[in-house]
Amino acid sequence: MNYLAHYYIDNQVGNAHYNAGLIIPDLARGYFKAGLLHHVDASNNPYKDIFAGCVQHIASDKKFHASAFFVHYLNEVNAVIKKTAFSQNLQRKWFLAHILFELLLDRTILKSHQVYVDRFYEDLGALTDKDLTIFIGSIGVTAPDGFITRYRHFTQVQYIRYYTDNNKFVYSLNRIMIRAGLSELNITDALKLRQVVLELENTYFAAQENILNEMRHIFTER
């Protein structure tokens, strides 16, 4: 799942530390591995709620990716991408399908439940640099500056709010692909990807509340 979907599924109203923990494993990629958390004794952690949120993130991702819901919609997204005449510059279409599906879920939440986005950024912004430094140090990470800079940039720019803009949505997809070591989309492929997004939203993602209900159903039995 992507950032907003994690919050949508697992947030605890009024618990900003736990809710930030739901997002930290993704923001911390490149600074520490989420698997590190399984080897940390959290009994005396000064930020137990942040730690608990991080652990929940890992559990929810595992359950989501093992679900029939994920497999079904990933296949549908992948089929639309495969039939689209992208240039040879676009590689690892399966990776694009995976990322696009998860970002479309965030975009669906944004379009139909704006309140979650407002609370999402409010909760993340509630953590101070001191909170982040102490938490990261408590799990054995000794150089938190880069992570804190990324975290603060994420909370200030609030780019998820712009997912409703088709051009900015495709731009975000492009940035993720570049960070994964893939080539930047050329103008023609970017336009075709925008058409893919519109086609998916007119078909499989047309009934927004239905697809969100399907996603929630994955987690009804913990």
For residue 204, the model assigns a pLDDT of: 93
Domain hosting residue 96, numbered range: 3-218
For residue 34, the model assigns a pLDDT of: 62
Nearest to 3 by CA among 82, 73, 90, 105: 105
For residue 145, the model assigns a pLDDT of: 80
Amino acid in the structure at residue 132: L
Tokens 């998916």, located at residue: 200
Query: What length is written for the chain?
Result: 222
- The ranges of the chain with pLDDT < 70 are 32-42, 142-143, 221-222
For residue 38, the model assigns a pLDDT of: 65
Q: How many DSSP H helices and E strands does the chain contain?
A: 12, 0
For residue 35, the model assigns a pLDDT of: 63
The count of domains in the chain is 1
Q: How many angstroms separate the Cα of 172 from the Cα of each of 42, 81, 121, 150, 185?
A: 35, 17, 18, 16, 11
**CB distance 154 to 124 below 8 Å:** yes
For residue 134, the model assigns a pLDDT of: 87
For residue 39, the model assigns a pLDDT of: 63
- Both ends of the chain: CA-CA distance in Å? 17
For residue 183, the model assigns a pLDDT of: 87
Nearest to 124 by CA among 103, 154, 86, 144: 154
**CB distance 102 to 18 below 8 Å:** no
For residue 31, the model assigns a pLDDT of: 72
Answering whether pTM is above 0.85, one says: yes
* Buried residues in 86-119 as b, exposed as e (16+ CB within 10 A): beeebeeeeebbbbbbbbbbbbbbbeebeebbeb
For residue 47, the model assigns a pLDDT of: 86
